[in-house]
Amino acid sequence: MAITIDVPQGEAALEEFVRFYDRVYSQHTARWPAPVDLQLPILTGDSPFARDRRIRPLLARENGEIVARAAAVVDQRYIRHWNERLGHIVMFEALPEAREATRALMDAACTWLAQQGSEAARTGMGMLDFPYVIDAYDTLPPSLLRHNPPYYHVLIKQAAFEAEQGFVDYKIRVTPALIERWQRALDAAQHVGYRIVPVKEIEPARRNREFTATWNETFRAHWGWSPFAEDEIGMFFDAFVEGGIQDTSVLAYEGDEPVGMLFVNPDDPHHAVLAPGRALDPAEKLNVLGIGVRERARGRGLNYAMAAYAFLELVRRGAAYVSYTLVLDDNWPSRRTGEGLGAYLCANYLAYRRNFCR
């Protein structure tokens, strides 16, 4: 078999790159469609997420047919923030028989990254890419999380990557007792003077400025994170407005000063692609949650109060389950529960790293 590595150029070729996702995931009984509106502008350089990043999309072909894809990224924001010459390999997808092609693809990506000055490469975390699921392969996750097949881990390992960091996604079934607990937490925060304001009630320019600044400050030591820009945050709030993101995402104020932020994107299950006869379980209708509190307001229950606000809004919209994700400090996720939530495991995820000196 003849394996070639191509660099797609032009909008049509880049859209083919994005839509390869649909071919890989076509065997899933439930899946999210390829995020063309999000990823294509990044690859063409028309998205704010392309700014301060050099991106090289790559396609692996066997006898002319696409069997794997990935994009190598030099993220100057990450490099400046962490002072680490680390490259990223994102948007990786591959067919099950593409072992040799994946190795060639990853070698080509790492070679290019090394030429740009990188000393190592990470896959599974970077520029909107989340880690690879390592269980719960048949359950539809929140749309921003990975839903890869199990064979990806063999492909990644054979391409000389090693497991680096673990994530846990938790979900919790809504109960009357939890609703009461969430309401008490919200009332307590408001009683001591915090204002929790949904972003829909904040003028967009101010919303983007304050949300971005608060997110960047509270996530500055968060593993693998790159700073956001205001127009990126604004794009998220505009792109997912129909799903209710501006109702469930909030800023928390102490006086006029923002001291906390909560990003919650509720998924619209109508966008999922289902096989004939496949119906979504209520536990598959989830959300993505990111939360941060500035240091001077920590230890006062504000994080739980903001989460409670969003959870109560999700319940009002009919959610039977809510979810959130933790990043752990070791390589393998534990089954510990979230503080005050009583949640249980939904899925484990892994990010990988390849050092070029090896």
- Domains of the chain, by residue range, sit at 3-164, 175-319
Q: What is the pLDDT of residue 357?
A: 65
Number of neighbouring beta carbons within 10 Å of residue 237: 20
Q: What is the pLDDT of residue 268?
A: 87
Q: What is the pLDDT of residue 1?
A: 64
Q: What is the pLDDT of residue 329?
A: 38
According to CATH, the topology of domain 3-164 is Aminopeptidase (3.40.630)
Q: What is the pLDDT of residue 345?
A: 81
Residue spans of the chain under pLDDT 70: 1, 326-342, 357-358
Q: What is the pLDDT of residue 224?
A: 94
Scanning the structure block, which residue is given the tokens 């004939």? 276
What token pair was written down for 49? 């997420």
Can 3-164 and 175-319 be said to share one CATH topology?
yes
Are 224 and 122 spatial neighbours (Cβ–Cβ below 8 Å)?
yes
- Reply yes or no on domain 175-319 having CATH 3.40.630.30: yes
State in Å, rounded, how far the first CA of the chain is from the last one.
28
Q: What's the pTM value of the predicted model, to 2 decimals?
A: 0.93
